[in-house]
């Protein structure tokens, strides 16, 4: 399996894990689509870092998961986003190998944030990494 094929398999597994939470109406890969249903999640591949380890290479795959929900009340929007981020974090860390695809998955951080110009949409992000070693 090429590194590109492995990467696609990893992204598809993450998408399945997030869909299986049953929380999101839509789960997208990438950032180019507008949410049509709420809540929605977006899986954004950020980078791949490669380090040589003896005759093999260690790869760290970094991802961002963006969540959005629509609420009229700011406090309710914040609560909803934080609950969604916690649900994604728990789902991802329940099997830190993603079914054997990686050696370890670590959630690094998550937080809500404001997007100027969006009065009813509340956003949050979660960053995580997957580590693997390949020949």
- pTM (two decimals): 0.92
pLDDT, tens only, 105-117 = 999 999 988 776 6
For residue 46, being part of any structural domain is answered with no
- Quick check: is 50 in a domain? no
Assess if residue 66 is contained within a domain: no
CA atoms within 13 Å, Cβ hemisphere of 35: 21
Domain contains 57 = no
Report the alpha-carbon distance of residue 25 to residue 67 in Å, rounded: 11
**Domain coverage including residue 23:** 1-31+72-135
Give 51's strand partners. 58
Strands 56-70 and 40-53: what pairing?
antiparallel
Residue 134 lies in a domain: yes
Rounded distance between C-alpha atoms, residue 135 and residue 37, angstroms: 42
Q: What is the mean pLDDT of residues 80-96?
A: 97
pLDDT in tens, 43-80: 999 999 999 877 889 999 999 999 999 988 888 989 99
Number of separate domains in the chain: 1
CB 118 within 8 A of CB 48: no
Assess if residue 36 is contained within a domain: no
Distance in angstroms (rounded) separating the CA atoms of residues 84 and 97: 21
Tokens (6 digits) for 5 = 């094929």
The CA-based angle 80-84-7, given to 5 degrees, is: 150
Is 77 part of a structural domain of the chain? Answer: yes
């Amino acid at each position: 399996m090429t590194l590109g094929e492995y990467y696609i398999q990893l992204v598809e597994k993450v998408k399945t894990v997030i869909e299986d939470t049953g929380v999101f109406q839509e789960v997208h890969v990438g950032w180019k689509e507008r949410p049509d249903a709420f809540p929605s999640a977006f899986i954004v591949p950020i980078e791949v870092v490669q380090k040589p380890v003896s005759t093999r290479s260690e790869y760290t795959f970094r991802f961002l998961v963006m969540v959005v929900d629509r609420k009229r009340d700011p406090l309710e929007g914040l609560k909803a986003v934080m609950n969604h981020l916690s649900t994604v974090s728990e789902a991802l860390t329940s099997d830190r190998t993603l079914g054997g695809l990686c050696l370890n998955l670590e959630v690094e951080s998550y937080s809500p944030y404001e997007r100027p110009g969006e009065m009813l949409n509340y956003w949050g992000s979660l960053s995580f990494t997957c580590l693997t070693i390949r020949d």
